[in-house]
A and B are shown apart, each in its own frame.
Chain A
Amino acid sequence: MRPRTREIGWGAGPWRPVLATGEKKPSDQSGQKRPGTKGPAFHDMISRLAVLESAPVFFTMPESVLRALARRLRRIRVPNGEVVVCQGEPGDTIFFIEQGRCRVVVDKPPGAVTVSVLAEGDFVGEGACLLSRPQQASVYAQSECTLLALDRQSLFAVLGGRHHAVIDELRRLAEQRFSRFADSSVQATWGMLLKEATVVGVYSPKGGSGGTCISLNLVGALAQRYPGEVLLLDLDFPYSHSALLAGLMPTSCLARTGSVPQDAFEEVLLSAVLYHVRGPMILPGALRPEEADEVTPELITRAIAVLRKTFRYIVVDLGVTITDSTLALFDLTQHIVVVAAPELSAVKSAADAIEILTQLGAPHDRLTVVLNNRSLKPAVTRQAVERMLKREVDVEVAFDGARPEQAAVDGVILSVADARSEVTRGCLRLAGLLEAKHGQVELPARSLVAELHPA
């Protein structure tokens, strides 16, 4: 874009492009800097990059693009209690939180509802900036905050060309947040549930048995009865992918709430929960493999204590390995679902797991075995499985063809999208079993929820 003539150019002028004709040159401005070209200092650049790298969607971008974005960021210090974004106003800037916490509040007469508390690494304002809608919520600094502002022009100048897919991803995230905040504010005005949740642990001792698939679809099946009241806590470490399998983009996780002070823990934890439009809610355990270490038994106990007051069912995907965290959760669960595939090694592992769970004191009637057929002709028959496990299989999920894999690729939860799927049928049976054992008295709020989610 630079002109080819010699008259205009940074080299020709003292501090900025000098017009060759018709304009008088400035007298002496050699001391002044060229506008907008002074880059941030090295350490400043490092901290800006760190914020971008921890932000959802942005961390996927190549370093050169992140550097270009980092150079265009404006640092803003906001005192405690000051308004950052005002509901109903237009917006053209994304604010990354470098330090501090921000409270997202939706004014919904007769009151105002806090729908989220955002901490370091998160961002706000993307809805108004990318969807050209008025701001959905007001954002207040909950502590002394340092924000990094990226305006729309800078964003499009860097990403508008070859990286337009990233802008589309950001738009998806903005849409997702938009619906989550809308639903959260509606739910909050109804008031919270009166009874504590039932915690169900889903454990598959052998990788590839479909534990994550079953837990995700179980949440979908339960959420059909109780939309917005069923949570999937994904502790399948080191890679917690349930949110992505449901087509949601996680922005925070349980691991990141570990360092939050006690007074703000509940708000930060609940604001990390992702809301699926068909009812299920998902809380990722860790977004990165290295964050898995930060999910300690103490953190899980604290989190479950908070989540129990808010949801009706909490389904925990326990993954494959038995760690301290898994053991802590076994103590907190009211029901354990063991998922096994009809393969020799998987059944052997399931038998061992059931034995361990029995030794740990899990009652026989609070243990459910799910046989998940991953192939058309299983190597081990159901009778053989039952013989090896020394107990009956409670629910058998028939072979479902390529549907589960396709659903994972499309980001769809089968149990809420495809009624003919075998996985859906199996999970509905499992949900029925859980309801028979742990079902609660119907609350009046449910009719309102059903109005919101007629599907």
Chain B
Amino acid sequence: MRRASLQRNLEAVVLGTRHKLSIDLGEKDDDFALVLYRITKPLACDSVELRRLMAEFRNSGIADAAIERLSADSRSARLQSARILGALRMPQAVTWLAPLLESKDRAVADAAARALGRIGGAQSARVLLMAIQRAGLRRTLIGELARAAPDLFLEVTLGEPQRPGLKPAAALAAGLRRRQTAVGPLVALLMHGTTRERVTSCRALGWIGSSAAVPAVVAATEDPEWRVRVAAAKALRLLHSGQAILVLERLSAERNAHVRQASAAALRRLIREVKVIELTWL
């Protein structure tokens, strides 16, 4: 019942029929953040509705209170505040969400990462990259980096000298974004990177699925490092290239068991997918 009332209030503000918002953030449950998230999810970041809502949050002091509560003792308060700021997509909150990424409480750190991903922009992406540098390749951080990074941000990160661990993260994020602009930098990383970078760039090229990446991935199947060959086999399945079956058959007879296993699995799945495509055409 309370949630329905909250939703009605927020919707009235979004529609402009109500101009006063009185919400007590001190309450323990997380209903408010959830309802707010649902309401703001379909709104574009420059829409009148979202601007109206943000203005009301600023005027009523809820936005300030949410930022203050990022440093509260209570874990649920920090979680709720991070979610509220993420739902509102307030670029001003990026600086205050950044320290939460270092939190030992994984739920709080993930909530901050999700909020930064929703806010987006170069500043959020930079903060997430720094968090990855500290915390390593964490799934949530990479996923949110892919969501937050603006155009050519990851491509530039891949092309410039970085601290160890950042390029694999950027490669994975670029793969998750599935942008053609990342193919060039990823191919360059596959050719000149470290083992870990070659592995991640192979996987990312597979996810992007660009035919321009096929020669580089095929060349990676002859890499001296077996991990790269495994990644190349997995990528070839996703690239659906004409050469893929021949190359995977060759890899199925490999000396390394991991490569044999991966390429056989990839070949099986690829043949199954090709059959499905043929049946669809028929």
Contacts and interface: CB of A to CB of B under 8 A. Distances in A.
A161 B75 CA distance: 33
B180 A36 contact: no
B120 interface: yes
Nearest to B68: A3
B243 interface: no
Q: How large is the interface on B (under 10, 10 to 19, 20 to 34, 35 or more residues)?
A: 35 or more
B122 A72 contact: yes
Contacts of A5: 68, 71
Nearest to B185: A82
B151 A153 contact: no
A93 B155 CA distance: 14
A17 B99 contact: yes
Contacts of B123: 35-36, 153-154
Contacts of B179: 86, 89
Contact of B71 (A21, A37, A92): A21
A198 B224 CA distance: 67
Contacts of B181: 83-86, 89
A84 B100 CA distance: 34
A1 B99 contact: no
A328 B102 CA distance: 70
A93 B150 contact: yes
A23 B152 contact: no
B64 to A, nearest CB: 7
Contacts of A85: 151, 181
Interface in A82-141: 82-86, 89, 91-93, 95, 125, 130, 132
Interface in B57-85: 58, 63-64, 67-68, 70-73, 75, 78
Contacts of A21: 71-73
A1 B63 CA distance: 8
Interface stretch (B87-95, B138-146, B191-199, B251-259): B87-95
Contact of B78 (A1, A22, A132): A22
B98 A35 contact: yes
A225 interface: no
A17 B68 contact: no
B153 A157 contact: no
A104 B40 CA distance: 35
B150 A19 contact: no
B118 to A, nearest CB: 11
Interface in B120-138: 120-124, 126-127, 130
B45 interface: yes
A23 B46 contact: no
A154 B71 contact: no
Given A86-B179, A92-B151, A7 B121 contact: no
Given A3-B67, A93-B151, A19 B99 contact: yes
Interface residues of A, number: 47
A160 B99 contact: no
B68 A4 contact: yes
Give the most central of A23, A26, A125, A156: most B CB within 10 Å.
A23
A353 interface: no
A118 B119 CA distance: 31
Nearest to A8: B71
A69 to B, nearest CB: 13
B156 interface: yes
A154 B121 contact: yes
B19 interface: no
Contact of B120 (A2, A22, A35, A153): A153
Interface in A11-66: 16-24, 26, 34-37
Nearest to A86: B180
Contacts of A86: 179-181
Contact of B126 (A18, A23, A35): A35
Contacts of A76: 152, 156
B96 A3 contact: yes
Given A4-B68, A22-B75, A35 B102 contact: no
Contacts of B46: 130, 152, 156, 160, 167
Nearest to B152: A76
A453 interface: no
Tell me what chain B mostly uses at the interface: helix, strand, loop, or mixed: helix
A152 B121 contact: yes
Contacts of B277: none
A11 B150 CA distance: 30
A36 B95 contact: yes
B128 to A, nearest CB: 10
A273 interface: no
B67 A18 contact: no
Given A16-B99, A19-B99, A151 B122 contact: yes
A24 B104 contact: yes
B70 A8 contact: yes
B103 interface: yes
B119 to A, nearest CB: 7
Given A8-B68, A16-B98, A156 B122 contact: no
A76 B151 CA distance: 11
B184 interface: yes
A151 B95 contact: no
A149 interface: yes
Nearest to A157: B91
A130 B44 CA distance: 11
Nearest to A155: B46
B51 interface: yes
A26 B101 CA distance: 12
A377 B114 CA distance: 72
A153 B119 contact: yes
B64 A153 contact: no
Contacts of A366: none
B151 A160 contact: no
B65 to A, nearest CB: 9
A147 B124 CA distance: 21
Contacts of A36: 94-95, 122-123, 126-127
A74 interface: yes
Nearest to B90: A1
Contact of A152 (B72, B75, B150, B152): B150
A152 B63 CA distance: 21
A17 B104 CA distance: 17
Contact of A154 (B122, B130, B156): B122
Closest 8 A/B residue pairs (Cβ)? A153-B121, A151-B150, A93-B151, A86-B180, A36-B123, A157-B91, A19-B71, A1-B92
7 contacts: A26-B102, A83-B184, A149-B122, A149-B152, A151-B151, A152-B45, A153-B120
Given A82-B184, A152-B121, A153-B122, 6 more contacts: A1-B63, A22-B71, A36-B94, A36-B95, A89-B179, A152-B150
